[in-house]
Amino acid sequence: MAATDTVRILLPDNRNYEIRIGSGLLDAASSWQGLPKAGAAVIVSNETVAPLYAERLKSQLRAVYPRVDLVVLPDGEQHKDWASLNRICDHLLGEALDRRTVLFALGGGVIGDMTGFAAAIYMRGVPFVQVPTTLLAQVDSSVGGKTAINHPLGKNMLGAFYQPERVIADLDSLDSLPDRELRAGLAEIIKYGPIADAGFLCWIEDNLDALLARDKAVLGYAVRRSCEIKADVVGQDEREQGLRAILNFGHTIGHAIEAGLGYGAWLHGEAVACGMVLAADLSQRKGLMPTAFVGRLRALIERAGLPVRPPKLGAERYLQLMRVDKKAEAGAIRFVLIEELGRAGLHAVPDALIAETLAAYGAA
């Protein structure tokens, strides 16, 4: 069994919190001690995750809170919407739960983002705890305090910055995760190498087979190092005034793929993986990185079983989709490009150069 690791997120105004990473954390009493006192805890989960883990979390929380409720939402990105958010609020108000009530998000990024947003707005803010059960949620979405729901006109367009009290990432919950979801989470782990830590990129290359085989100690290190890097970035730039944007490496083209194919066709991590290959190619075309880097990243992503060939949507459609990206400013599409291994920055890229990259990968 892997030992428990703790990563601290340091933020102003007493909002520091811990990310605990390890095996057996769901069933460990210490995971749930020292949280804000309240008359009630409400677990928010979905139809897939609740049957697997909700009873175990409930029985732990019963030792701490006089009352423990469970709200089960439908599963899927298409349900990250007003209707689901309302179901959480309906429960809280319907049961007359007060402003000290603690919410527990038990699930992947969809449940985490929605529960966090509900916590941010219920009675102007109640405490919440992230219990991420996907690899993607453990290395990315549960950390950093971005919460949101989707709107028919745009993904994550309604939300708030709102930090959790604690994150409990139990590596054992990954045992039940489908392979495809595991690989999608690996994409976000790979992302942290080129943008922040060249040594971590080498480590992932050396340990990829063990990661795919779900070796707990190796997964534990990957989750910890990913959280450390994200914690460091978020601690410097909580509200994305600048630096935090580097976490979006691969996401500009990734979001275009997701939107262009219709959400759900490709998983987010799959789209980001392919987007990273193309963003690496742009970094090379801009003269920032050597050709060898593009091949190296592409080989790693391929080995992880993630897509490296973008869908053929046509250059015009890609450009149109990327202009609505939250990072776009005054017409120019901005990309996170790699400046040297372990360092990234935002760069405006002319349409003609983007079109060259898309054509080179058969997407134009």
112 is in an annotated binding site: yes
Contacts of 233 by beta carbon, 8 Å cutoff, 6+ apart: 196, 243, 244, 246, 247
Catalytic status, residue 244 = yes
List the catalytic residue out of 268, 285, 298, 334.
268
**Closest chain position to ligand NAD (CB):** 109
| Nearest-approach distance from CB 323 to ligand NAD, in angstroms | 20
75 is in an annotated binding site: yes
CA dist 232 and 14 (Å) reads 17
242 is in an annotated binding site: no
| Nearest-approach distance from CB 319 to ligand NAD, in angstroms | 23
Contact residues for ligand NAD, defined by CB under 6 A: 46, 48-49, 52, 75, 77, 80, 107-111, 113, 133-134, 136-137, 140-141, 144, 146, 156, 173, 176-177, 181, 184, 268
CA dist 346 and 324 (Å) reads 16
116 is in an annotated binding site: no
Catalytic status, residue 191 = no
291 is in an annotated binding site: no
| Nearest-approach distance from CB 352 to ligand NAD, in angstroms | 31
| Nearest-approach distance from CB 308 to ligand NAD, in angstroms | 20
Q: Which residue has the tokens 């080129």?
A: 194
| Nearest-approach distance from CB 64 to ligand NAD, in angstroms | 23
Catalytic status, residue 255 = yes
Could you tell me if 246 and 337 are in contact, meaning their C-beta atoms sit under 8 angstroms apart? no
Catalytic status, residue 8 = no
78 is in an annotated binding site: yes
Catalytic status, residue 216 = no
Catalytic status, residue 326 = no
Contacts of 53 by beta carbon, 8 Å cutoff, 6+ apart: 26, 45, 106, 133, 173
Q: Which is nearer to ligand NAD, 163 or 284 (CB)?
A: 163
Q: Which residue has the tokens 């003609």?
A: 352
Q: Which is nearer to ligand NAD, 156 or 320 (CB)?
A: 156
The tokens describing 131, both together, are: 């219990």
110 is in an annotated binding site: yes
The tokens describing 139, both together, are: 């290395």
Q: Which is nearer to ligand NAD, 81 or 205 (CB)?
A: 81
Catalytic status, residue 188 = yes
Q: Which is nearer to ligand NAD, 133 or 357 (CB)?
A: 133
| Nearest-approach distance from CB 295 to ligand NAD, in angstroms | 27
Catalytic status, residue 207 = no
What phi and psi, each to the nearest 5 degrees, are found at residue 43?
-85, 130
Question: Is the backbone of residue 285 left (phi > 0), alpha (psi -120 to 50) or beta?
Answer: alpha
Q: State the burial class of residue 25 (Cβ atoms within 10 Å of its Cβ: 0-12, 13-18, 19+).
A: buried
What ranges in the chain are assigned the alpha helix state H? 50-61, 82-94, 109-121, 135-136, 179-196, 198-212, 216-236, 251-261, 268-285, 291-303, 315-323, 351-360
Catalytic status, residue 268 = yes
Number of residues written out for the chain: 364
Nearest to 172 by CA among 355, 344, 2, 362: 2
Q: Which is nearer to ligand NAD, 250 or 311 (CB)?
A: 250
Residue set of the binding site for Zn(2+): 188, 251, 268
Which residues does the annotation mark as catalytic? Answer: 124, 146, 188, 230, 240, 244, 248, 251, 255, 268
